[in-house]
Amino acid sequence: MPGKLKIDPSDKRPPVAPVLPEPDKQADHHRQVRAARQTEIMEDYVELIADLIDATGEARSVDIAKRLGVTTPTVARMIGRLKEAGWIEAQPYRAIFLTDEGRRIAEASRRRHQVVVTFLTAIGVSEEIARADAEGIEHHVSEETLAAFESFLRSR
C-alpha cells in the first residue's frame, strides 16, 4: 500500500521525543476521554436496546445479557442507571423501552458506529475487524474526526 508507515524492528536508534501539547490542551484531551468512558457502556446498552426493538419489537434483559456477554444482574444494574439518566423506561419482568432522549442517543451512537466501520473498511480493514474496532472508537471519536471520516468517504 503506497504511503504505508513501515517500522523496522532492527532499527536501534532511540525514538524521537514527542512534541507535547500545551498542558491545558493535554488535560482537556484526557478529560474528554474520561467523559467518553463514563458514557460508553450506557451508549452500548441503548444502542443494543434500539437494535433489539427495531429488529424484534422488544428488548428484554435476558436478550441484552446474551448479546453483551454479561449476567442478567449486571443488566439489571445498568437498567437502573439508564432509568436514572432518563434514557429508558422499564418495569421488572417487562420489556424495556427507550425514551425520546434514549432513542436520540442510540441513533447518534449507531450513526457514529456506521461511519467508523465504513471508514475502516474503506482504508482496507476487514469488515469483521472494522466492526469490532468500531465498538471502542465510536465512543471516543470527536465530531471533527467523524466529519473528516465522512468527507474522506464522500471524496472517494
% of the chain exceeding 70 in pLDDT: 96
Per-residue pLDDT averaged across 13-25, rounded? 81
% of the chain exceeding 90 in pLDDT: 65
Specify the pTM: 0.74
Total number of domains in the chain? 1
Task: Give the domain CATH number at 122.
Answer: 1.10.10.10
In whole angstroms, give the CA distance from residue 132 to residue 143.
20
In whole angstroms, give the CA distance from residue 130 to residue 138.
11
1 belongs to a structural domain: no
Structural domain including 74 reads: 35-155
Is the pLDDT score of 124 beyond 70? yes
16 belongs to a structural domain: no
113 belongs to a structural domain: yes
